[in-house]
Amino acid sequence: MATPRVQIELDAGPWSEPEYADYRVLGEPISGKVLITSDEPLTCRSVTVTVGWHTEGRGDRDEHAVWESQVHEGEIPAGAIEFPFRTELPGGPMSYAGHYVNVLWEVTARIDLAWKRDPTAQRRMHAVLP
């Protein structure tokens, strides 16, 4: 069985310039969709979307999921299917690139398959202050 393809697409942010396509404002809504493409029906328990931040750099990893939601439960038919999601970012922390500490925001989608490795997809974004 071929592994299903998972993608995350974010709806347009407040800026139209292509270099700011991944920029989102803290405290404001964020929305998008999870696209799943499969050649055959998937025996799936659930599709989960998580929005959260984690640290990278010299220190051990800190992470925090600010929002998690099951956008689908049950079998997924063959072909391309999309599951929309929408939430609001909290007030902080903002994305940060420092010397020893980096704070990175990410949207993660995970398909929970029975007795198989769960396919996942990540989409990085920059969370900025309003």
Partner 1 sequence: MAAAKNRSRIGMGCLTAFLSLFVIVFGGFGGWGVYQQFRVRGFAPVEGVVTHSVVGASRGDDGTTYYPDIRFRYTVDGKTYDSGEYRIQQISSSGRRGKARIVRQYPVGKKVPAWYDPGDPDTAVIDRSFSFFPVIFFAIGVVVLGVIVLIWVGHVRGWTWGHRSGGASGGMYGTGDAARGTEVRLKPFGNLAGQVHTFKGMLFFTVVWNGFIWTIAAFLWFSNEDSIPIFAKVVVGLFMAVGVGLAFSTIKMGLARMKLEAPEVTVSVQPLRVGEPFDVSFRQRAKGPVHVQHVTAKLICREFATYRRGTDTTTVTHDVHEQEAVVVQEVAASSIQPIQGSASLAIPADGMHSFHAARNRIVWLLEVQTAVDDWPDYRTTFELQVAPERVLSGVAV
Which run of H or of E encompasses 36? strand 29-38
94 binding partner 1? (CB under 8 A): yes
For partner 1, the binding residue among 40, 64, 69, 120 (CB under 8 A) is 64
Q: Which of 14, 41, 77, 98 binds partner 1 (CB under 8 A)?
A: 98
Pick the binder of partner 1 from 93, 121, 123, 126 (CB under 8 A).
93
Q: Name the token pair of 68.
A: 């998690």
* Whole-angstrom distance, CA of residue 16 vs CA of residue 20: 7
19 binds partner 1 (CB under 8 A): no
Residue 39, C-beta contacts closer than 8 angstroms, at least 6 positions apart? 1, 2, 78
Closer Cβ to partner 1, 62 or 82, answer by number: 62
SS3 12: coil
| CB nearer to partner 1: pick between 117 and 130 | 130
**C-alpha span between 10 and 24 (Å, rounded):** 10
Binding site for partner 1 (CB under 8 A): 26, 55, 57-62, 64, 90-94, 96, 98-101, 103, 129-130
